[in-house]
Amino acid sequence: MTRFGVQLPNFSEVGAEGLFEHVAGLAVSAETAGFDSVWVMDHFFQIPLLGGADQPILESYTLLGALAARTERVQLGTLVTGVTYRNPGILAKMVTTLDVISGGRAILGIGGAWHDEEHDGLGIEYPTDQVRLDMLEEAVQVCRALFTEDDVTFKGKHFQLDHARNLPRPVQSGGPKILIGGGGEQRTLRLVARYADKCNVTGDAATLARKIEVLHRHCDEVGRDPAEIDVTWMAPLVLTSSDQHTREIFELLEAGGGAREGVDSFVVGQPHQVPDLIAGHLAAGADEVYFSVPYADATAIADLGRALGLTCG
CATH code: domain of residue 125: 3.20.20.30
Q: Could you tell me the pLDDT band of residue 257, with boundaries at 50, 70 and 90? A: low
pLDDT tens, residue by residue, 79-132 = 999 999 999 999 999 999 999 999 999 999 999 999 999 999 999 999 999 999
Of 67, 56, 83, nearest in space to 30 by CA: 67
Residue 73 lies in a domain: yes
Per cent of the chain over pLDDT 90 is: 85
User: Around Cβ 284, how many Cβ atoms within 10 Å?
Assistant: 19
pLDDT at residue 14 tops 80: no
Query: pLDDT, tens digit, for every residue of 134-177?
Result: 999 999 999 999 999 999 999 999 999 999 999 999 999 999 99
pLDDT (0 to 100) of residue 260: 46
Instruction: Please give the mean pLDDT across all residues of the chain.
Output: 93
Q: How far apart are the C-alpha atoms of 165 and 140, rounded to whole Å?
A: 16
User: Does any domain span residue 74?
Assistant: yes
d(CA 247, CA 269): 9
Give the 3-state secondary structure of residue 199. strand
pLDDT on residue 253: 81
pLDDT of amino acid 265: 78
Terminal Cα distance for the chain, rounded: 18
pLDDT tier at 13, thresholds 50, 70, 90: low
Let me know if residue 312 belongs to a domain: no
Q: Which domain holds residue 161?
A: 3-307
Confidence of residue 11 (pLDDT cuts 50, 70, 90): confident
Residue 251's pLDDT band, with cuts at 50, 70 and 90, is: confident
Tell me how many degrees the CA angle 48-271-180 measures, rounded to the nearest 5.
Answer: 50
Is 56 among the domain residues? yes
Q: Are 153 and 146 in contact (CB under 8 A)?
A: no
The count of domains in the chain is: 1
> Is pLDDT above 70 for 301?
yes
Q: In this structure, is residue 313 part of a structural domain?
A: no
Contact indicator for 180, 188 with CB cutoff of 8 Å: yes
In one-letter notation, the amino acid at residue 59 is E
pLDDT of residue 262: 61
**Residue 281 to residue 276: CA distance in whole angstroms:** 10
Residue 268 belongs to some domain of the structure: yes
List the alpha helices (DSSP H) in 128-232.
129-148, 188-195, 205-222
The pTM (predicted TM-score) of the whole model is 0.94
Is 43 domain-assigned?
yes
Distances (CA, A) of 3 to 50, 88, 119, 145, 305: 26, 28, 33, 28, 11
Is position 294 within any domain?
Answer: yes
